[in-house]
């Protein structure tokens, strides 16, 4: 079922969902099931599965020279989606990214997902490789999420690469990312919203936000989206703080601000156990306010760890 249909059927009730990471290459899928099992009692209608691009490593050859080798540390998104749908009988939402794929590889992945009966995807540009500093698309790949979205929309019309005739169309319900504090590469929030509106006009049917810790920024973002003519569901993405170093890491990596009250509470913690309790309580209060204001779904970034999210969900659902 499409995410938009799940939201419509909820009739104003806030739904619960979460995102998981594929296990590191060589690890068992049992680690995924162990993270999902405790959260199933809260009846998530869908689970997101992230897609991780390639990374580079340098392998020493016999002649002493270094060879640049491409590797993926977390493969398996398509297979994990199939396993989730088979085991739990709920929708899995794979992330589809630009980085590390050309257009034909993207089409093949989308065809596989369509064969599996996947109804929803989240289209993202993806991050730059750490060693490159800025995003560089693969040869024959997409540089921007709106280009990738365009390819998906073509498939939804039955238009495939290298095919001169129209084939059976796919019917993906496509989500895109939104940034209440703007994407760090955008010159302004208004500019960022212009490109988000472009994606919705192309056919994106819902938005999932970057994590935020100040609900006012989400509410203001939603208001600005509506003013720009963006009327699709906007799903807030939430992540509880669980370690003291999150105070520095999260703002640095995800370009988000932490409210002064939260920072003061974290600075008063003696250890990570105290931090975790502060983070859980902050997330619960965030979630309650979002539910009161009619957020369609609360979407939690779990990092494939369920204990903290279980504590939060127990207080809400």
pLDDT tens digits along 220-266 = 999 999 999 999 999 999 999 999 889 889 998 899 999 999 999 99
CB 91 within 8 A of CB 85: yes
Q: Does the pLDDT value for residue 210 go beyond 90?
A: yes
Domains of the chain: 3-314 (3.20.20.220)
294-303: average pLDDT: 96
Share of the chain above pLDDT 90, in %: 78
pLDDT tens digits along 50-93 = 987 666 556 667 666 666 556 666 678 999 999 999 999 999 99
The reported pLDDT for the residue numbered 307 is 94
- Cα–Cα dist 35/272, whole Å: 21
The reported pLDDT for the residue numbered 175 is 98
- Whole-prediction pTM: 0.92
DSSP label at 293?
Answer: T
Which of left, alpha, beta for 303 (phi over 0: left; psi -120 to 50: alpha)? Answer: left
The reported pLDDT for the residue numbered 26 is 76
């Amino acid at each position: 079922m499409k995410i938009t249909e799940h939201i419509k059927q909820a009739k104003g009730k806030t739904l619960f969902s979460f995102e998981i990471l594929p296990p590191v290459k060589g690890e068992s899928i049992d680690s995924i099931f162990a993270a999902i099992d405790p959260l199933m009692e809260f009846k998530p209608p869908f689970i997101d599965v992230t897609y991780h691009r390639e990374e580079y490593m340098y392998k020493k050859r016999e002649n002493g020279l270094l060879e640049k080798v491409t590797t993926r540390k977390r493969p398996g998104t398509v297979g994990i989606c199939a396993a989730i749908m088979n085991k739990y009988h709920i929708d899995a939402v794979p992330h589809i990214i630009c980085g590390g794929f050309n257009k034909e590889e993207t089409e093949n992945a989308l065809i596989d997902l369509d064969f599996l009966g996947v109804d929803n995807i989240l289209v993202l540009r993806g991050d730059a490789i750490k060693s490159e500093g800025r995003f560089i698309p693969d040869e024959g790949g997409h540089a921007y999420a709106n280009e990738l979205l365009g390819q998906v929309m073509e498939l939804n019309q039955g238009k495939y690469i290298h095919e001169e005739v129209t084939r059976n169309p796919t019917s993906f319900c496509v989500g895109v990312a939104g940034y209440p504090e703007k994407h760090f590469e955008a010159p302004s929030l208004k500019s960022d919203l212009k490109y988000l509106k472009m994606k919705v006009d192309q056919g994106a049917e819902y938005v999932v936000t970057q994590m935020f810790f100040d609900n006012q920024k989400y509410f203001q973002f939603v208001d600005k989206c509506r003013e720009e003519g963006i009327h699709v569901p906007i799903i807030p993405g939430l992540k509880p703080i669980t370690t003291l170093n999150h105070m520095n890491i999260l703002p640095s990596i995800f370009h988000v601000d932490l409210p002064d009250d939260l920072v003061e509470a974290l600075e008063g913690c003696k250890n990570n156990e105290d931090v975790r309790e502060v983070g859980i309580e902050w997330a619960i209060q965030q979630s309650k306010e979002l539910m009161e204001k009619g957020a369609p779904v609360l979407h939690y970034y779990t990092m494939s760890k369920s204990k903290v999210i279980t504590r939060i969900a127990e207080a809400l659902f």
